[in-house]
């Protein structure tokens, strides 16, 4: 990983706060030449540090106000199959479901953590029963419905 200087970090903080901020506004805010801002942003995009620019939507206003975290256990060997299943392949398959926001391969008593947004609990139940449990290799699931979200962010602390 390339080292970031203080200017880089200031630029990233501003972009995380508002990715629509102009280079001119950034230059004024952090007292830096606009050409420096442009070149630093371009460099961070090229090295993949800035992956994309994206609007963060209010899921409740889009009738997707039910959030759940689903833990899934995984079996590597299915009866009658010689070749073990790939946990990564199973996670990638789960990631294709439109309700799924995040999929993580984790340690501990469970193998995969899935974050889901849906219109309501019935939709989550259908996702688990009709899609998730039908994925080859998914053995057990545990759903945790979110009552209230205190913090949810995409920001990375620097």
How many Å apart are CA 148 and CA 71, to the nearest integer? 19
**What does the domain layout of the chain look like in residue ranges?**
7-46, 60-145
Q: Give the pLDDT band of residue 107 (cuts 50, 70, 90).
A: very high
How many Å apart are CA 47 and CA 43, to the nearest integer? 6
- Residue 39: its H or E element: helix 34-46
| Tens-place pLDDT, residues 16-71 | 999 999 999 999 999 999 999 999 999 999 999 999 999 989 999 999 999 999 99
Q: Decide if pLDDT at 1 tops 70.
A: no
Q: Give the pLDDT band of residue 85 (cuts 50, 70, 90).
A: confident
How many Å apart are CA 22 and CA 150, to the nearest integer? 30
DSSP character for 16? H
pLDDT at residue 76, as a whole number: 82
Paired tokens of 133: 């449990």
Domain 60-145 listed as CATH 3.40.50.300: no
CATH architecture of 7-46: Orthogonal Bundle (1.10)
């Amino acid at each position: 990983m390339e080292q970031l200087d203080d200017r880089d970090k200031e630029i990233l903080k501003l972009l995380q706060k508002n990715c629509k901020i102009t280079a001119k506004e950034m230059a004024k805010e952090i007292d830096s030449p606009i050409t420096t801002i442009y070149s630093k942003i371009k460099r961070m995009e090229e090295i993949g540090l800035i992956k994309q620019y994206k609007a963060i939507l209010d899921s409740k206003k889009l009738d997707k106000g039910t959030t759940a975290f689903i833990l899934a256990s995984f079996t590597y060997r299915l009866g009658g199959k010689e070749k073990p299943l790939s946990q990564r392949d199973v996670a990638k398959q789960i990631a294709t479901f439109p309700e799924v926001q995040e999929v993580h391969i984790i340690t501990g008593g469970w193998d995969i953590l899935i974050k889901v947004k849906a219109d309501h609990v019935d939709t989550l139940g259908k996702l688990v029963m009709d899609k998730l449990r039908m994925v080859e290799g998914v053995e057990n699931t545990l759903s945790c419905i979110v009552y209230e979200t205190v913090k949810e962010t995409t920001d990375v602390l620097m």
